[in-house]
């Protein structure tokens, strides 16, 4: 919808058609775990615009109508209702599918793939009856869902093959307080454990089998890795890259003339490593959609390499970061030094002061920041945004160690935790 | 105390003596308004370290003993108790005095100059009996004190010669919600108004006279501009600059050999304008103290030009910023473009979502950020810190317009308000 709006904004006379397999557009799927967790009262608040809004904008949306094939030579798409539409420009925004757990029983009742809001509304009623749930994999969605289900009072088991949660982006020292808080919330953690099967009775899940034993459960949330949904594009001969996402250039153009792509179906080079990565955030998808839609309608915009700030609530904490963890940098063979600090968010004597732990990674030669992780009680998102810009613009830990900071008892401590972590890194450089 | 600790840390064998006119060291004066406002329960929590702590560190503190003269040739100081001490290095950290309001009656009972914690403890008892208070000038301290006294339920009048609060750092559009919230809290605002005198009965304040009429009051808080306290240094021949603060180089050295200075008694060049400025924050003072103390003990550290992020709670809002407001840039004749956005702090449907308004100033040629102001409900301090680093490192509004941001419903919105403000500025560049 970001692409459609940008296209119409660029050329108000353009005919803009949107195909979607779903009944709705323009709601916030990111809000679904928080309705399940009962932090948000209802699904209705997740909708951003009415269907009439798009009619008024002159955007022609074909609901419940998926594109089933693309002819890149004829410049046509064929939809599930048999319609054929010619295009001058086509934007692919086909998103992701969860990686198949690849185990028996995946089609049983009681197995939940979080995605569509209408289905989420139905599942939310089911949650009222659920006693025990298994969340398969501590991905970002898995992390949100464990938190949500535990908050709702369901006995929740998290199963993940890695030794700690969110291991693709985090280090264990950052996740330790999160895992402790999950245990406090009643969740059971099964790390270094693989789901090996779903077992049911009368077509309905009764237990999840794992490499470390069985877990009786009446719900399983499959939160495996997101894989780019590229089947229709690949069938049309459009090229994918090493991560499996559609290859795009800075203008979000694919390998086919006039065909753009945006969001989870693409891959985008990481600004530090130049390795194409896939499965970014909703804000990335939206920004890419705007670039693709602008260019598709004859405008000119460039998308940049990404550094991927991330953040979320996990258990009783906020976590966040940017680019490389120590674990990931080590796996990739990137040299680095680290700096670590345990700081606070306000004056130590001010009510509701929260801990803020910061870990920084810098490349050893010029001391440019290449990664960060944070865990704390407030100000995590804003710091992650800052540190993402720092990585992108080549800011060093020398710069961060001497950063000025706001000190005011209700909103900021004398010593900014980022500066303390950078100062800690410098002690290692000097020694 | 930052300088003393850094000196001892640099050379543990150094003999470190601290003279102070007060009964205490090492408490947080910045917390005083919040005890008066009853957000913090007691003054005791403002103390950071015991006297024994400094004894254990080997720092010799001479309480209630002010230095009354310095002989820069003999390298000695003479104290109020007649002691003469020789120094190899001397660090001046004499702070500020409030500008004399220059009106009759300034020595009456009931006139409060916020500074010393022991006096604040006595004044806090007085506040229980106060019905009506006048705060003279909407400086940062004045802004905090209006908020505190109104929060405590005292009828509070703010008197300031400027047309809006904090006018040295802010624009009226940013302060408008703050002023509205003060009115909601019962405060009376008297802008474009000068205090002309303090009138009393039996030596005790009964009313404050102003250019716009009299205000009956039993308390007046003098929160005039902070002026560098340099009398003893000036008498010793140490040079002051155009702002009245002691001139220091990057190592915090004054014009006298072996004499350093740090904090509110100095002036520091602004990184954008190169104009020396004075009266920065407690975090600046502390950082300068550490640099001065390190160098005084034979180490080597440099302090940088400042960009001055600032922030505070004002009324029911958080405000903050860095470097130049539109008002100040105009007064200095700096060319600029602005960008403005009204954003939000979390997903619009997430509980406790707060508005975040951002105003950016950039120089028109290269579009480098030269100033920012923010008003909102959360994440203001962290954004001000980020934008201060942006000004310092030459980040442009192009960079900010394409910044990546964390999007997660409980902690961050789809669109970061800073990015929206930068995008708004770019629309003016293009048109």
Distance CA A80, CA A94 (A): 15
Contact B384 A406 (CB under 8 A): yes
pLDDT tens per residue, range B157-174: 999 999 999 999 999 999
Contact A408 B349 (CB under 8 A): no
Residue A342 lies in a domain: yes
Which residues share a beta bridge with B257?
Answer: none
Compute CA distances A326 → A168, A192, A372, B195, whole Å: 10, 19, 9, 59
Q: How far apart are the CA of A28 and the nearest CA of chain B, in angstroms? A: 9
Q: Quick one: pLDDT at residue A56?
A: 94
User: Among A60, A1, A6, A65, which Cα is nearest to A27's?
Assistant: A1
Same domain, A252 and A348: no
Sign, CA torsion A121/A124/A126/A128? negative
Q: How far apart are the CA of A147 and the nearest CA of chain B, in angstroms? A: 12
pLDDT tens per residue, range A186-205: 999 999 999 999 999 999 99
Distance CA A326, CA B75 (A): 51
Q: Quick one: pLDDT at residue A249?
A: 97
* Chain A contact set for B415 (CB, 8 A): 283, 286
Same domain, A337 and A425: yes
* Chain A contact set for B313 (CB, 8 A): 408, 410-411
Q: How far apart are the CA of A189 and the nearest CA of chain B, in angstroms? A: 23
Q: How far apart are the CA of B257 and the nearest CA of chain A, in angstroms? A: 26
Contact B411 A380 (CB under 8 A): yes
Q: Which residue on chain A is closest to B395 by alpha carbon?
A: A393
Residue A223 and residue A145 in contact, taking contact as beta carbons nearer than 8 Å? yes
Contact B412 A45 (CB under 8 A): no
Residue B134 sits in a domain whose CATH number is 3.50.50.60
Same domain, A152 and A194: yes
Q: Which of A268, A296, A324 corresponds to the end of one domain?
A: A296
Does residue B74 come out as left (phi exceeding 0), alpha (psi in the -120 to 50 range) or beta?
A: alpha
Q: How far apart are the CA of B303 and the nearest CA of chain A, in angstroms? A: 8
Residue A27 lies in a domain: no
**Helix/strand/coil (H/E/C) assignment for every residue in B370-397:** EEEEEEECCCHHHHHHHHHHHHHHCCEH
Q: Quick one: pLDDT at residue B49?
A: 83
Decide if pLDDT at B39 tops 90.
Answer: yes
Decide if pLDDT at B80 tops 70.
Answer: yes
Q: Tokens at residue B336, please?
A: 């600029």
Residue B305: CB atoms within 10 A of its CB come to: 15
Residue B398: CB atoms within 10 A of its CB come to: 16
Residue B39 lies in a domain: no
Same domain, B212 and B231: no
C-alpha radius of gyration, chain B, whole number: 23
Q: List the single residue in A286, A318, A347 with the smallest CB-CB distance to B411.
A: A318
Contact B389 A386 (CB under 8 A): yes
**Helix/strand/coil (H/E/C) assignment for every residue in chain A:** CHHHHHHHHHCCCCCEEEECCCCCCCECHHHHHHHHCCCCCCHHHHECCCHHHHHHHCEEEECCCCEEEEECCCCEEEECCCCEEECCCEEECCCEEECCCCCCCCCCECEECCCCHHHHHHHHHHHCCCCEEEEECCCHHHHHHHHHHHHCCCEEEEECCCCCCCCCCCCHHHHHHHHHHHHHCCCEEECCCCEEEEEEECCEEEEEEECCEEEECCEEEECCCEEECCHHHHHCCCCECCCCCEECCCCCECCCCCEEECHHHEEEEECCCCCEECCCCHHHHHHHHHHHHHHHCCCCCCCCCECCEEEEEECCEEEEEEECCHHHHHHHCCCCEEEEEEEECCCCCCCCCCEEEEEEEECCCCCEEEEEEEEECCCHHHHHHHHHHHHHHCCEHHHHHCCCCCCECCCECCCCHHHHHHHHHHHHHHC
Q: How far apart are the CA of A202 and the nearest CA of chain B, in angstroms? A: 38
Residue B414 lies in a domain: yes
* Chain B contact set for A385 (CB, 8 A): 386, 403-406, 412, 416, 418
Contact A389 B390 (CB under 8 A): yes
Residue A302 lies in a domain: no
Q: How far apart are the CA of B104 and the nearest CA of chain A, in angstroms? A: 33
Contact B351 A40 (CB under 8 A): yes
Q: Which of B209, B224, B239 corresponds to the end of one domain?
A: B224
Same domain, B285 and B342: no
Same domain, A254 and A186: no
Q: Tokens at residue A83, please?
A: 């319609």
- Tell me what percent of the residues of chain B surpass a pLDDT of 70: 100
Same domain, B344 and B383: yes
pLDDT tens per residue, range B117-165: 999 999 999 999 999 999 999 999 999 999 999 999 999 999 999 999 9
Residue A40 lies in a domain: no
Residue B406 lies in a domain: yes
Q: List the single residue in A28, A349, A386 with the smallest CB-CB distance to B347.
A: A28
Low-confidence ranges of chain A (pLDDT < 70): 431
Instruction: Look up the domain containing A135 and give its range.
Output: 111-224
Give the pLDDT mean for B267-290: 92
Decide if pLDDT at B50 tops 90.
Answer: no
Contact B380 A411 (CB under 8 A): yes
Residue B143: CB atoms within 10 A of its CB come to: 27
Same domain, B139 and B164: yes
* Chain B contact set for A384 (CB, 8 A): 406
Interface A–B counts its CB contacts (< 8 A) at 199
Which of B385, B392, B416 should be substituted to probe chain A, the one whose Cβ sees the most A Cβ atoms within 10 Å? B385
Length of chain A: 431
Residues in CB range of B52: below 8 A, 6 or more apart: none
* Chain A contact set for B383 (CB, 8 A): 382
Q: Quick one: pLDDT at residue A424?
A: 98
Q: List the single residue in B281, B399, B411 with the smallest CB-CB distance to A393.
A: B399
Q: Quick one: pLDDT at residue B255?
A: 98
Q: What is the mean pLDDT of chain B?
A: 96
Q: Quick one: pLDDT at residue B431?
A: 60
Where do we find the tokens 């290269």?
B366
Q: How far apart are the CA of B149 and the nearest CA of chain A, in angstroms? A: 16
Distance CA A12, CA A8 (A): 5
Give the pLDDT mean for B376-398: 98
Q: How far apart are the CA of A254 and the nearest CA of chain B, in angstroms? A: 21
Distance CA B409, CA B55 (A): 50
Contact A283 B406 (CB under 8 A): yes
Element (H, E) at B62: strand B59-62
Same domain, A89 and A125: no
Same domain, B199 and B283: no
Contact B386 A381 (CB under 8 A): no
Contact A388 B408 (CB under 8 A): no
Q: How far apart are the CA of B70 and the nearest CA of chain A, in angstroms? A: 31
Same domain, B148 and B115: yes
What is the distance of C-alpha B185 from the center of its chain?
A: 24
Same domain, A215 and A238: no
Residue B40 lies in a domain: no
Contact A383 B382 (CB under 8 A): yes
How many domains is chain A partitioned into structurally? 3
- Tell me what percent of the residues of chain B surpass a pLDDT of 90: 95
* Chain B contact set for A378 (CB, 8 A): 378
* Chain B contact set for A398 (CB, 8 A): none
What is the distance of C-alpha B314 from the center of its chain?
A: 13
Q: Quick one: pLDDT at residue B48?
A: 85
Q: List the single residue in B40, B306, B390 with the smallest CB-CB distance to A350.
A: B40
* Chain A contact set for B418 (CB, 8 A): 385
What is the distance of C-alpha A193 from the center of its chain?
A: 23
Element (H, E) at B135: strand B132-136
Q: Which residue on chain A is closest to B382 by alpha carbon?
A: A382
Where do we find the tokens 């680019």?
A323
Q: List the single residue in A31, A404, A405 with the smallest CB-CB distance to B347.
A: A31
Q: Quick one: pLDDT at residue A157?
A: 98
Decide if pLDDT at B430 tops 90.
Answer: no
Contact A34 B350 (CB under 8 A): yes
Which of A120, A283, A343, A430 should be substituted to probe chain B, the one whose Cβ sees the most B Cβ atoms within 10 Å? A283
Whole-model pTM: value is 0.96
Distance CA B23, CA B330 (A): 44
Q: Which of B296, B320, B341 corresponds to the end of one domain?
A: B296
Q: Tokens at residue B153, please?
A: 């339920």
> In terms of C-beta density within 10 A (0-12 exposed, 13-18 middle, 19 or more buried), how is residue A168 classed?
middle
- ipTM at complex level: 0.95
User: Among B219, B220, B200, which Cα is nearest to B105's?
Assistant: B200
* Chain B contact set for A383 (CB, 8 A): 382
Contact A309 B380 (CB under 8 A): no
């Amino acid at each position: 919808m970001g692409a459609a709006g940008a296209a119409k904004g660029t050329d108000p006379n353009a005919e803009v058609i949107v195909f979607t397999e779903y009944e709705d557009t323009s709601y916030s799927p990111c809000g679904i775990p928080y309705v399940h967790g009962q932090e948000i009262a209802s699904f209705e608040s997740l909708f951003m615009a009415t269907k009439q809004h798009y009619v008024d904008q002159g955007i022609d949306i074909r609901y419940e109508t998926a594109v089933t094939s693309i002819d890149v030579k004829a410049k046509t798409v064929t939809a599930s209702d048999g319609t054929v539409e010619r295009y001058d420009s086509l934007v692919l925004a086909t998103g992701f599918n969860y990686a198949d757990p690849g185990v028996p029983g995946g089609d049983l009742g009681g197995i939940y793939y979080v995605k569509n809001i209408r289905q989420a509304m139905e599942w939310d009623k089911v949650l009222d009856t659920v006693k025990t749930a298994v969340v398969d994999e501590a991905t970002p969605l898995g992390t949100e869902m464990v938190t949500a289900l535990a908050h709702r009072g369901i006995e929740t088991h998290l199963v993940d093959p890695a030794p700690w949660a969110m291991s693709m982006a985090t280090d264990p020292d950052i996740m330790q307080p999160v895992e402790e808080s999950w245990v406090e919330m009643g969740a059971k953690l099964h790390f270094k454990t693989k789901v090996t099967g779903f077992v049911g009775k009368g077509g309905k899940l009764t237990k999840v089998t794992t490499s470390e034993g069985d877990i009786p459960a009446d719900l399983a949330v499959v939160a495996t890795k997101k894989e780019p949904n590229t089947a229709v594009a690949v069938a049309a001969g459009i090229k994918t890259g090493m991560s499996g996402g559609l290859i795009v250039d800075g203008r979000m153009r694919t390998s086919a003339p006039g065909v753009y792509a945006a969001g989870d179906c693409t891959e985008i080079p990481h600004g530090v490593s130049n390795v194409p990565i896939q499965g970014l955030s909703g804000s990335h998808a939206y920004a890419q959609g705007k670039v693709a839609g602008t260019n598709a309608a004859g405008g000119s915009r460039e998308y940049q390499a990404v550094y991927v700030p991330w953040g979320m609530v996990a258990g009783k904490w906020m976590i966040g970061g940017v680019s490389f963890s120590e674990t990931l940098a080590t796996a990739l063979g990137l040299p680095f030094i680290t700096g670590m600090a345990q700081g606070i968010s306000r004056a130590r004597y001010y009510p509701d002061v929260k801990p803020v732990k910061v870990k920084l990674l810098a490349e050893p030669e010029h001391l440019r920041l290449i990664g960060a992780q944070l865990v704390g009680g407030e100000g995590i998102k804003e710091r992650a945004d800052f540190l993402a810009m720092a990585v992108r613009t080549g800011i060093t830990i020398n710069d961060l160690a001497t950063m000025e900071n706001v000190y005011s008892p209700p909103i900021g401590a004398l010593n900014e935790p980022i500066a303390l972590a950078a100062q800690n890194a410098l002690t290692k450089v000097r020694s």
